[in-house]
Amino acid sequence: MSYPFIDSPLVTASIERPAAEAIEAARAFPSATLLEAANKLGALPSAIKPVSPAFRVCGPAVTVHSPPGDNLWLHRALVVAQPGDVLVVYTSDYYEAGYWGEVMSTAAKERGVAGLVIDGCVRDAELLARIGFPVFSRGLCIRGTTKDFAARGWINHPLRIGDVAVRPGDLVVGDADGVVVLAQESIDATLRAASEREDTEAEILARIAAGELTLDIYGWNR
């Protein structure tokens, strides 16, 4: 089936993605560890949390700029996204709508999409948890959305959520603590730093178990 919107300059259908090995390696680390390893860069607003605490997501970003109160461009993004991708959605700072629910989670799961991170609200919370497709949002909103074919949106163009610039193909990792976005060019260095950080923390935990105090371990005993 043909989709005319794909030929629009508002849509970039083909993007560069991180290597599969890098995505798999990032999956092993908590979001907080990756954030610290990335020099504290890339944390999305703390209001964006998983709809279910068990949700975890890791994959390359397919960015979506949605008109306020309208989710047609999210439906379109499901055509563009490839298996393993994470939809990262900016809703033009309009939060009084549920942009995503049971139907879209089911469709995304069938497509093999890895998850949704939306700077906006969703609905059908209990059903989303039951479906098991990872959804990270600002919260829940019972209000529905429009489908305005004249409204302008974008797919796979850079966008900004909070103070974080998100580009297509950046690596997105989310868990119960929140969501971090790693620029593609920083992924390898961040993964090395994350591994070193976990080794260091393991040593510190062993010292604590042996009876040392954190003030002494970190040299803060002044």
Annotated binding-site residue numbers for substrate: 101-104, 123
> Are the beta carbons of 22 and 187 closer than 8 angstroms?
yes
Measured between alpha carbons, how far is 213 from 20 in angstroms, rounded to an integer? Answer: 40
For the chain, the straight-line distance linking the first and the last C-alpha, in angstroms and rounded, comes to 69
H-state helical runs in the chain? 20-26, 31-37, 72-80, 102-111, 125-131, 187-209, 214-217
What is the CB neighbour count within 10 angstroms for residue 138? Answer: 16
Instruction: Please identify which residue in the block is written with the tokens 């860069």.
Output: 41
Binding-site positions for Mg(2+) read 124
Binding-site positions read 101-104, 123-124
Residue 195 tokens read as: 């591994």
> Are the beta carbons of 34 and 146 closer than 8 angstroms?
no
φ/ψ (deg, to 5) at 89: -120, 130
What is the CB neighbour count within 10 angstroms for residue 135? Answer: 27
